[in-house]
Structure 1
Amino acid sequence: MIHQQFISTAVLKAKEGKRAALKEALLKLINPTRSEPGCLYYILFEDKNNKGTFYMREAFKDTAAFEFHTQTIHFKNFAAQTGELMSEPIQLIELNPVSDIES
């Protein structure tokens, strides 16, 4: 059985006045997540035209690796803060590659 990579973009919107705190909390996820054995990449972006809206581009070797990520202490610590920092729940957009990454 071939395991398909788990690729997604998480959309995270800060509450009014919580942009800096949300950004800091998201940045704290980067290094521990990148150290997880199944993490392929984990990159944080902020919408240039909509400050306080963040996008986490993430890829894991398979769904099990992503599920492992959601059970880590660093992710659970972040998740415990989302009600205070975010204006709406995390929107997770799962993606399937259509083209090759490189030409």
Structure 2
Amino acid sequence: MPENLTVIAQLRAKSGQETALREALTALIPPTLAEPGCIAYDLHRAVDDQGSFHFYEVWRSPEEHAANLKTPHLRSFLARTPELLDGDIQVTLLRRLAPGS
């Protein structure tokens, strides 16, 4: 059985949009966790940068992650990114090589 897909998504809020971005990202969590194949969908903020947000996601398969990108809640969020984000969303797709302790 193939390893799960891990996704790290990095987002930077426009100046003055930190709270609005945090609220918009937090709203994505419940519907995304309910999606088939979603194992983890954790939102983080950098300790030393209130405008730097990061999602740590684990999906059962790349196909299920791709389906997430087509959901109404994510499409609605993406439509708001010009007003909320400073730059593009940076996405890194990872495969775990070895389990931790």
- Which category of TM-score, normalised to the shorter sequence, fits these structures? over 0.9
The separation in 2 between residues aligned to 1:7 and 1:97, in whole angstroms, is 8
The separation in 2 between residues aligned to 1:74 and 1:5, in whole angstroms, is 23
Query: What is the identity percentage for the equivalent residue pairs of Structure 1 and Structure 2?
Result: 34
The separation in 1 between residues aligned to 2:5 and 2:56, in whole angstroms, is 11
In the alignment, structure 1 residue 16 sits paired with structure 2 residue 15: yes
Q: Which residue of 2 aligns with 1:74?
A: 73
Gaps of 5+ in 2: none
Change in CA separation of 1:35 and 1:59 when aligned onto 2, cut-off 3 Å: same
The separation in 2 between residues aligned to 1:95 and 1:3, in whole angstroms, is 13
Gaps of 5+ in 1: none
Per-residue deviation, 1:98: 2.5
Which letter maps to 1:97? R
The separation in 2 between residues aligned to 1:99 and 1:77, in whole angstroms, is 36
Please give the secondary structure, in 2, of the residue aligned with 1:98: coil
Matches within 5 A, 1:1-103: 2-101=1-100, 103=101
Per-residue deviation, 1:3: 4.2
With normalisation by structure 1, the TM-score equals: 0.93
